[in-house]
Chain A
Amino acid sequence: MSALALAAGVAVAALTLYAVFGGADFGGGVWDLLASGPRRARQRDAITNAIGPVWEANHVWLIFAWVALFTCFPPAYADVCTYLNAPLTLALLGIVLRGAAFVFRNYTSDNAMLARTWSVVFGAASLIAPFFLGDTIGALATGRYAWTSPFALAVGLFNVTLCAQVAAVFLIAEARDSALRDDFRRSAISATAAVWIVGLVPVLLAREAEPRLFAALLGPTARTAIVLAVLLGLAVMLMVALRNARGARIAVAAEVVAVLAGWFGAQAPELVPGRWTLASAAAPPATLAAFLVAVAGGAVVLVPSLIYLFAVFKIRARG
């Protein structure tokens, strides 16, 4: 495999991991905003406990994908930053507010008004960030950087729904008692249905307004990935219904991977359709080689650390 393909693979992997884990954290914020019913305080507690130890680490996947993009594909990166300046800045605003509000509200828990205010900011920011990240990706896919196009906006909305789905599924296993677990199971079922409905919108809009993109979505890789994503959504529903939290987690993570594979499949080997391919935007070979060596070396430190983190908080804790 060429260094170029490997470097692109690293960027894609980082983005995918961010979509799953970072997405779950944003989705947690969405459910925090939507928390209702007699157990809403406990729902929020479960969300806080689930996100608390891991959100900062999960967030680094985005930084990493971002750095991989500017290191390995600098001219495409420069273009994307210029033409998609607005949605990226709005996503950044959401990311900043989400992180700050999450910490601030945790340390103001004894002051109801402040805690409430920062909670609302936390929830709203958890909508803004994934919406504009999704919008950015939609705009990229149009090849026109059309971030205000209905298609791009629909992708933004779809991304928010997807985050909410992943979070609901992940939260089932975080809940301490069965009533709370059932709350999140219901959320997971409705979110999966929402993902299907909202996911249909960009496809229909692409058929109307983005003929080239629509043709690419019907290509073999993208088509397979989309069908797979729908099937995996069914698997999520099934696992949730069967109270198999672990199976549901795996299914929903695989579904996100399939969704992203649909996007990559429709677009590869183009980075920005019609403007940049992986090859035309590639950094010099020496840079790609150094980047890959750095990734290999970094992984030696990173992987055991990550496993330790999740072992302490996500496996051991549950017992």
Chain B
Amino acid sequence: MDQVLAARAQMGTSLAFHIVFAALGVGLPLLVFVAEGLWLRTKRRAYYDLARTWAKGMAILFAVGAISGTVLAFELGLLWPVFMRYAGGIIGLPFSLEGFAFFVEAIFIGIYLYGWDRLSPRAHWLSALPIIVSGAISAAFVTLANAWMNMPAGFRLDHGKVVDVDPVAAMFSAPWLVEDLHATLAAYVMTGFGAAAVCAFALLRGQAQDRVEQVRAGLTIAMVVATVAIPLQWIVGDVIARFDAQQEPAKFAALEAVWTTQRHAPITIGGIVGDGQTRYGIEIPSALSLLVAFDPNAEVRGLDRVARDDRPPVALVHYSFDTMVGSASLLLLIALAWSIVVLRKRALGRRLVAGIALSGPLALIALEAGWFVTEFGRQPWIAHGLLRTSDAVTSAPGIAVQFYGFSALYVILAATCWWLLRRVGTAPRAAERQPFVPESLP
């Protein structure tokens, strides 16, 4: 395998693996916090069981998220040393801040997971708060580094040398806010629908009487999170589309598969992306011009404005984009249907529950496809306009072997996680926690 391809395959696999655990690591603490809070308020056993079950899942997912995140931190240098030589001093700041946020997250995860019998119920419940906050913040800091890769800022190039470094300006490169919002919301979309889907699946399979209330409560809490997050994600996505059209025209042209700069540009859904044209797609006339400038006559820049060597892999980006938007559309429909049923105080029908069970895989697909759009859409650059991916790769031998080895490892880890999480979900209920006796502490 060619060196660049091997390194990209290795990095891409690591990221695709990690992003799932990262998203759930950001979202799950919120669900656990709500469930335990409801237990403290109502003293209903179902909420307690729910919090304990979700917390066990959180323990497994967070651990795998922490180690797969470590892999990425290492691979920045192990695979892309040339990039890090350029960029380390420019984007080290968000990574350093992320280090602290991750630290706080790891500390309170330990306190929360092992503190059920060591803290008062209220203190234990509150110890989830720092996990929620620092989890979201640490994801946001990492995303800042990705925003910089899309639109490098905070330095000047002087005869190929990086000078006048301003790490704060680099941290807040142009896409920082929209990318951060998009990534954070993606975590809640993924977790909300993911957790709701697990509950929905459990309901479809039928549950013992003592568990039905827990599963139903879990479905409701998770769907509330998902239903709040998914429309917000649509709004942010819409803003990003206009941002990209202006600021990242190559990526935008690729994701919409626009080859020719034109007015009255249509939105093309699907189709066969060839070299220079996209055929057989479903076209919505003038819709793209309307989308980017609220004017059907607005000009949309196409790939003809991008030098051939600077074009991303158009088909891959376009199909990933359509997959993301398609999945997100279905998610929006499912959330809408659920809201209507709940607001009208009707019982959930079997078809709706089946739809919710389907929303988990859909959210996962949307998450991965969205990540594909931003990463493939940036190619052939590792830092747009500054450094090409092919120039950033390591010269160390054995990268292909690493790729095969780590891929096999990820398969084993994913399979084990899946199996363990299924067991966590079906394990017999633990005894409700004993009353807290402060005197037992010194």
Contact = CB atoms under 8 A, between A and B. Distances in A.
A305 interface: yes
A295 B99 CA distance: 10
A38 interface: no
Nearest to B57: A107
Interface in B66-112: 66-71, 73-74, 76-78, 81-82, 84-90, 92-93, 95-100, 102-104, 106-111
A57 B118 contact: no
Given A57-B110, A70-B92, A294 B100 contact: yes
A67 B73 contact: yes
Contacts of B413: 96, 100
B432 to A, nearest CB: 21
Given A283-B89, A290-B93, A63 B70 contact: yes
Given A53-B111, A290-B168, A298-B96, A81 B78 contact: yes
A52 interface: yes
A313 B108 contact: no
Interface stretch (A84-92, A170-178, A195-203): A84-92
Interface string A15-35: 000000000000000000000
Interface stretch (A71-79, A207-215, A251-259): A71-79
Contacts of B59: 103, 107
B416 A85 contact: no
A71 B66 CA distance: 21
Interface in A266-319: 283-284, 286-287, 290-291, 294-295, 297-299, 301-302, 305-306, 308-309, 312-313, 316-317, 319
Q: Which bracket fits the contact residues of A?
A: 35 or more
Nearest to A92: B74
B103 A78 contact: no
B163 to A, nearest CB: 8
B326 interface: no
A99 interface: yes
Nearest to B166: A286
A275 B21 CA distance: 39
B64 interface: yes
A189 interface: no
Interface of B: 56, 59-60, 62-64, 66-71, 73-74, 76-78, 81-82, 84-90, 92-93, 95-100, 102-104, 106-111, 113-115, 118-119, 130, 163, 165-168, 394-398, 402, 405-406, 409, 413, 416, 420, 423-424, 441-442
Q: Shortest 7 CB-CB distances between A and B: which pairs?
A: A71-B92, A74-B88, A298-B100, A283-B89, A81-B77, A85-B396, A78-B81
Interface of A: 52-54, 56-57, 59-60, 62-64, 66-68, 70-72, 74-75, 77-83, 85-86, 88-89, 92-93, 95-97, 99-100, 102-104, 107-108, 283-284, 286-287, 290-291, 294-295, 297-299, 301-302, 305-306, 308-309, 312-313, 316-317, 319
24 contacts: A52-B113, A57-B107, A60-B99, A60-B106, A63-B70, A70-B95, A71-B89, A85-B78, A88-B78, A99-B66, A99-B67, A100-B67, A103-B63, A283-B88, A283-B89, A287-B89, A290-B168, A291-B96, A294-B100, A295-B96, A297-B100, A298-B103, A306-B103, A309-B111
